[in-house]
A and B are shown apart, each in its own frame.
Chain A
Amino acid sequence: MPKIVIDDKELDFNQGQTIIQIAEENGIDIPHFCWHECLSVSGNCRMCLVEVEKIPKLVIACSTIAADGMVVHTQSEKTVKARSAVMEFLLINHPLDCPICDEAGECKLQQYAYSHSVGESRFTEEKNHKKKRVPLGPYVMFDAERCISCSRCIRFCDEIAGEKQLTFVQRGDKVTIVTAPGKQLDNPYSLNVTDICPVGALTNRDFRFKSRVWDMSSTKSICSGCSRGCNIEVWVRNNEILRLTPRHNAEVNSYWMCDNGRLNTFKHVNAENRVDGPYLKREGNLIKTGWDEAIAFAVSELKSFGKDEIAFIGSAFATCEDNYIFAKFAKSAWSAKNIDFLRHVKPGESDKLLVMEDKSPNALGAQLAGIQPGKGGLNFEGIIHAIKEGKIKALYLLEDDLAAIKPEYESALKKLELLIVHSSNFNKTTDIADLILPASTYAEKHGTFVNFDGRVQRIRSAVTTEDFDRSLDGFEQSRLDKFGSPFDKWSSPKKMDARSSWRIIAAMYSALGHKIKHTMSQEVFDEISETIPEFQGLNYSVIGDTGAKIKLKSAETKSIKV
């Protein structure tokens, strides 16, 4: 294997690798702006200039192919001088917007100004001025003055999103970025340019001016928009989600996520229509009630039906843990056979990059956790049919707004004598329900989703509910969480009275006289891995941040994909 020496370290590499790739693999940081692992090399920022012995000029590490015996210096006097020269050039016309710039705190230019710049500017002229607020598309705002012309956004559109929507125009220090006349930056992945933009030139219009980045906590989670299961960070300030950003996972979503997932999968968590505590329907009116009363009501009402008159519908939006306890509850406490869930597959609504046809995050997980008809039991369509025929009179429904999907389902649900629903928000289905149990959203609980590919991935609570105290329950902490005083406005955030579905069902289980030993979702998952062969050998620490594959029989993946 050929060898290269970088900063006195002898390293193996594969033929064809560039210096920066080898450095990256071996934990040596070569500063760079324009280079990105997933994009073509453009070599324009000149920040990664390094000294290579026997080559008179400095070379850029991003485009220089390593050769056997090459000796590279990334910290030599010449390199450090060149780097600080590049930083000086980048900063001379860069506006001092940092105090009002969204990027501040996660800005490469700002960080490098601390670590790779001499500290003082010799520039005494007037800075160049360019347009400050240019909407490039529905979601992305452009500030031309902040742009360092690295071309990452252009290359992203060309190479990853597959739509050539951005280009440079003008020349020299007047260079700026535009869309074609009359066109917009509106590809389904447009917001990724705000992540890869090394400065605050491209910002997320949905998030602009909402918060300083250091005032938010960020929690590793999974997007709930489709069965891809893109890895994300959930950004929270004052117990409110302000944005989602993609989190790198080479096996799932690389560095990207779609705009729909980023913008439309968290707003219900902060929404006004959250179900805040259990609600009972009395004489046609919804009345807020206590947890004990609600659970007692559910148990006693369910008892009044024969086992063939009750159906249990799980959810592809709930976690494996929720569905597992739900299925166990249905089977062992009620000997139920009519168990299934609805698959939210929209044929044709997928693309080549990330978006999947299955618009739920956990269809495979729900199925594997036991949400499938028992012997001789009815499947989902069978249950709906039986409800219409009056054979099934009671339905226990987990986290799925069935009434909104088809008028047929809505009219069927209306025929029921008893409808118990777990829901995070009021919706068409809760309008019909006799008992609404407030379910935590994916952002308020721990649990697992299984994506289309059979990868188990963890979601983590980023937002507290009334059950949990941020400071005690292992939440990611923001600066405000750590250092806020009781007099700060963020110290008394709005908290929902909602619980993970499995916890609610567990309480019902206890009310029936069963003993439930689990106190944490990871204990539920441990039981899943002990009892369900596909999950064998897995636990929360094995799954970790980037997930683990389950042992899948091909028949199961097929049934989900179709």
Chain B
Amino acid sequence: MERIVLPDIKDLHLIDVYIQNGGYQAVKKAYAMSTDDVIAEVKKSGLRGRGGAAFATGLKWSFMPKTTDKPKYLCVNGDESEPGSFKDRQIFEFNPHQLLEGVLIACYAIQAKAAYIYIRGEYAKWVKLLQKALDDAYDKGFVGEKMKETLGSQFSCDIFIHKGAGAYICGEESALMNSIEGKRAYPRVKPPFPASNGLWGNPTTINNIETITNVPAIINKGAEWFSKIGEPKHPGTILCGVSGHVNKPGVYEIPTGTLLTDVIYKLAGGVPGDKKIKCVIPGGSSMPPLRGDQLEGVKMDADSLKAIGSGIGTAGVIVMDEDTNLVKVLARISKFYHHESCGQCTPCREGAGWLQKVLERIAAGNGVSSDLDLLISIASNIEGNTVCALGEAAAWPVRFMVTKFRQEFETYVKADVSIPVPNKVHSMRATEFPVADIKL
């Protein structure tokens, strides 16, 4: 199988090696095309976003206004902070120039004069690696004012690397823009959408690191070629980060539509001690989990996973064997989302903490049977009522884990124990007052 994003070439991260292997040819080719043709080519390729929502990339680019006096921007989201997701850093480390070349093509397509690559603060090492690659690209004249000369084009753009300060929420695209602007990373209320009102109020496109890295290959080899790889409705390859109870955890580049069981057993070497699998989260911790008995025939692409009630997410596959304590797993996942809730809007700010508190109480053996329905109710009160998708990210694992593994949770909670409720009444509306029995 051909690898697009992480080709098997030694020292590809060095600019000379990259150039020797045909690097920075796609950008020349693209700049000779019209911007509409570049967008059309990407549309035709069927490339879909690799950041979680799997939105059609070409279509997203076409939302950018053609006639505007405002500057336009490209943001590339490398804030990957989802537990189970560790794919983008492979690109920073092993194939940074293909990413940069993709950025140059995307900037041209949407006519952005500046691109910001946003990398999570914890990736200090990878920020340095990418910065080195970017400096080399500037030196060789592939980025910045000099590219007009090098590439013989009218167009030029600059690329900046922006380091986050350690907040999951910065991966939410509008929070990411606020963060770049130097503001508190609160997600913005949408609409307006970034294509009309993004960075500093200007038209902006936000793409994932892996998505952009696919673009040079599409320009080089054509949309036709790309669209035939993997699942037709979600073509190409995806970087699949496998972690948990597998013999060979790591990032594997697979064609979309590869069987999940193949990923686990063939690529990642199966489960240590040949234990049974209890649970797999296919797309990073916020995606609904699958039970061990649901894995047969499941394909790794957006539509197939959606069809069985989960999602491709960032393709971070977390495998849990039969001895895993899912109550503790869920308590830990909830702790993460509680810790990372930005605190802007009410349901997520208060709900994420409540979920964690209840789950930790259950995990400590102090749960009661009504807690399970309570958890599902809290989760559904968060879902759909928040500013951004972190509400769902906090709620889904709880709702689906408790629903799909109800029996395991049932054994953890004591039945028929009623615990005292402090501060029970905070409103008189639903309270019946005792009426004194006085006869006049």
Mark A residues whose CB is within 8 Å of B.
Answer: 41-47, 49, 57-58, 60, 63, 65, 82, 85-86, 88-93, 96, 113-115, 117-126, 128, 148-149, 167-168, 170-175
Contact = CB atoms under 8 A, between A and B. Distances in A.
B347 A86 contact: yes
Interface in B396-440: 419-431
B189 A124 contact: no
Contacts of B342: 171-172
B278 interface: no
Contacts of B354: 89, 92, 123, 125
27 contacts: A41-B189, A43-B345, A43-B387, A44-B344, A46-B385, A46-B387, A58-B384, A86-B347, A93-B353, A96-B423, A113-B426, A117-B426, A118-B427, A119-B427, A119-B428, A119-B429, A119-B430, A120-B425, A120-B430, A121-B421, A121-B426, A125-B357, A126-B357, A128-B353, A171-B167, A171-B341, A172-B352
Nearest to B430: A119
A515 to B, nearest CB: 60
Contact of B430 (A88, A118, A174): A118
Given A149-B344, A149-B349, 9 more contacts: A60-B189, A86-B385, A89-B354, A118-B429, A124-B419, A149-B346, A167-B184, A172-B341, A172-B353
B374 interface: yes
A63 B187 CA distance: 14
B146 interface: no
B361 interface: yes
B350 A117 contact: no
A17 to B, nearest CB: 15
B370 to A, nearest CB: 9
Nearest to A122: B374
A88 B340 contact: no
A85 B381 contact: yes
Contacts, number: 131
B350 A90 contact: yes
B343 A89 contact: no
Contacts of A175: 343, 349
Contacts of A128: 353
B385 A125 contact: no
A90 B346 contact: yes
Contacts of A42: 189
Contact of A89 (B381, B419, B428): B381
Contacts of B344: 44, 149
Interface in B345-389: 345-347, 349-354, 357-358, 361, 374, 377, 381, 384-387
A125 B360 CA distance: 10
Contacts of B377: 122
A369 to B, nearest CB: 52
A58 B385 contact: yes
B426 A89 contact: no
A221 B420 CA distance: 50
A46 B384 contact: no
B345 A44 contact: yes
Contacts of A63: 189
A89 B384 contact: no
B162 interface: no
Nearest to A171: B343
Contacts of A171: 167, 169, 339-343
A286 B359 CA distance: 78
Contacts of B386: 46
B338 interface: yes
Nearest to B337: A172
Contact of A125 (B352, B361, B425): B361
A65 B189 CA distance: 12
Contacts of B420: 124
A491 B167 CA distance: 59
Given A91-B426, A121-B421, A168 B385 contact: no
Among A93, A115, A119, A126: residue with most chain B CB under 10 A: A119
Contacts of B346: 44-47, 86, 89-90, 148-149
Among B349, B424, B429, B431: residue with most chain A CB under 10 A: B349
Contacts of A125: 354, 357-358, 361
A168 B345 CA distance: 13
Given A45-B345, A46-B346, A113-B426, A168 B184 contact: yes
A121 B423 contact: yes
B426 A96 contact: yes
Given A90-B350, A114-B428, A85 B340 contact: no
Nearest to A95: B423
B349 A173 contact: yes
B335 to A, nearest CB: 11
Among A63, A148, A173: residue with most chain B CB under 10 A: A173
Given A167-B184, A171-B340, A89 B189 contact: no
Contact of B350 (A65, A92, A167): A92
Nearest to A126: B357
Contact of A43 (B189, B338, B347, B427): B189
Contacts of A170: 343
Given A119-B430, A168-B184, A46 B347 contact: yes
A57 B387 CA distance: 12
A170 B169 CA distance: 13
Interface in B48-65: none
B311 to A, nearest CB: 17
Contacts of A122: 374, 377, 421
A167 B183 CA distance: 11
Nearest to B190: A63
A119 B347 contact: no
